[in-house]
């Protein structure tokens, strides 16, 4: 499956409630040609974008559930501390939109499960480690992935709201960071542990 990163025309705007036409243009641009291989759509926001509940609710409501007969899954990556709130988690749950769990030194981590899938971006690989991460860290992420897939949560990551009902989830984990040359080895190391 392939995750698709949405265009910035939809997310890099002062008023998100006005993003409807940009969202529609993007989802009708041919992404459904991937068919069953279409994974989640990533909507990434600038670090300067602050949480405005009403505006963000309008944006989430504008995200289409289907396109060309295909179910669409949406994930939002927010990077401003103002999103670290139960209200944001509740909004994402209402719309079945995953909040990207970013393992980053620069951006806040929100580990609440808000959709029927989990979207993780691991961003702290180290160039000096051949696989980007130590075996212990790879093992920890594999344990978390298995717990999420089985429908449970994880107790070692910060959650803002009460855990949702346990449901089996698809889990998408991406290696994206400064040490990009280590990303393939990191992904292969994680896959090996998951087997």
Q: Using the 8-state DSSP alphabet, how is residue 32 labeled?
A: G
Q: Give per-residue burial for 91-124: e unless 16+ CB within 10 Å, then b.
A: bbbebebbbbbbbbeebeebbbbbbebbbbbbbb
Class of domain 2-194: alpha beta
Measured distance CA(6)–CA(19) in Å, rounded:
12
In the predicted structure, residue 178 carries a pLDDT above the cut 80: no
Largest CA distance in the chain: 46
Tell me if 55 sits within 8 A of 13, measured CB to CB. no
Query: Which residues sit opposite 98 in a β-bridge?
Result: 75
**For 114-137, what is the mean pLDDT?**
93
In the predicted structure, residue 177 carries a pLDDT above the cut 80: no
What's residue 101's pLDDT? 96
Write down how long the chain is: 195
**What is the percent of the chain with per-residue pLDDT over 70, rounded to a whole number?**
100
Tell me: the pLDDT tens digits for 11-62?
A: 999 999 999 999 999 999 999 999 999 999 999 999 999 999 999 999 999 9
Instruction: Name which of 80, 119, 79 is nearest 99 in CA terms.
Output: 119
What's residue 43's pLDDT? 98
**Residue 190 CB-density burial (10 A; 0-12 exposed, 13-18 middle, 19+ buried):** buried
What's residue 54's pLDDT? 97
- Strands, DSSP E only, in the chain? 2-5, 38-44, 66-67, 70-71, 74-77, 98-99, 101-103, 117-122, 170-175
Q: Whole-structure pTM over 0.85, yes or no?
A: yes
């Amino acid at each position: 499956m392939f995750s698709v990163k949405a265009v910035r025309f939809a997310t890099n705007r002062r008023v998100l409630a006005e993003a409807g036409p940009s969202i529609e243009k993007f989802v009708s641009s041919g992404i459904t040609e991937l068919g069953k291989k279409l994974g989640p759509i990533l909507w990434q926001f600038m670090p300067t974008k602050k949480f405005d509940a009403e505006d963000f609710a309008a944006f989430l409501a504008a995200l289409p559930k289907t396109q060309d007969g295909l179910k669409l899954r949406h994930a939002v990556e927010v990077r401003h501390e103002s999103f670290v709130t139960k209200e944001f988690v509740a909004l994402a749950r209402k719309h079945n939109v995953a909040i990207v769990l970013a393992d980053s030194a620069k951006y806040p981590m929100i580990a609440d499960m808000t959709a029927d899938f989990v979207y993780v971006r691991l961003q702290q690989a180290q160039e000096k480690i051949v696989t980007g991460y130590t075996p212990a860290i790879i093992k920890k992420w594999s344990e978390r992935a298995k717990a999420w897939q089985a429908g449970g949560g994880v107790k070692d990551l910060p959650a803002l709201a009460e855990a949702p009902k346990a449901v089996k989830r698809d889990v998408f984990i991406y290696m994206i960071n400064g040490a990009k040359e280590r990303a393939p080895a990191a992904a292969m190391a994680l896959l090996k542990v998951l087997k």
